[in-house]
A and B are shown apart, each in its own frame.
Chain A
């Protein structure tokens, strides 16, 4: 059996290439297959396991990350295509060693139950609020519609988002 092994290259496994990714403000040099997906690189090569694999086809949103501030699903994004872009994962959301307002609010209002979809929601909400700091409920619903949750029925998330916006506002007012 030892003698006659076929090599992975014959089996269609391709050689790795060096790429550079900037994730949560830090640069990483990585050797990945050209077909490597950003989600797999984050989870397996960098041990950033906060981004989750809930499906394999951009249907659930659990793998959402920000690429240059835009919420994108990393399960169908080639890692090699994200070079020279700023990637933010859920690990980069908490600020100065404390929970971001949206993270605290999701806990307080029950926006997270099993928590598997939560990292994706964190990223989607972050990108929503960056673009539209005071969204209506319809705008929130529409923004969240690409992220699926099977626990919460979404209702408590709306409260959490409202409360996070309020907390941010008060925080800003206090800082002034």
Chain B
């Protein structure tokens, strides 16, 4: 039986790295006595995969994992049993059964939605509405991507799909951004913020506080964005 599980990452666990998180889930599965299927071979590992790695320090309301069980289990029971055995800050919100043969979650995800709060900008008053408007008017937003083979220029404009201003406060703004996420194209929210600040001519200084909160992940189905637990 194959299940897709939606879970959340809260304040108390936001600094856990992706690798540590995978181990944590595996141990919680054993504590909860979930009948996870294992791979064959010398080093059997549970058949468990994650939709998208979350950067250290990021909160999330919409994370997904894909799990294969040895026998049938009510998805609600799985969530309930896991929530009793997970550390504070991680919650399994919802689980749905999906077709065993469906492609991996990781390959399906195309969009990520983020709530980004920037504070600590003391320098001057900024007209956020026109800033965002002009930022999005650009046909090209070139950033430098550091890779093993050296620095590479990347145009991130095609990966920014929507930016809404949620709130303007005294020393910064809160925005909601929809960007490309997944194996086809991926824009990290940090890159977006860097480009935006660069565009606004605000240099990055330590008093800055950027809080990133992933709201959800989406895939396309019949031309519409749906979350992995809503796909048909």
- Pair from one complex: no
Residues of B within 8 A of A (CB): none
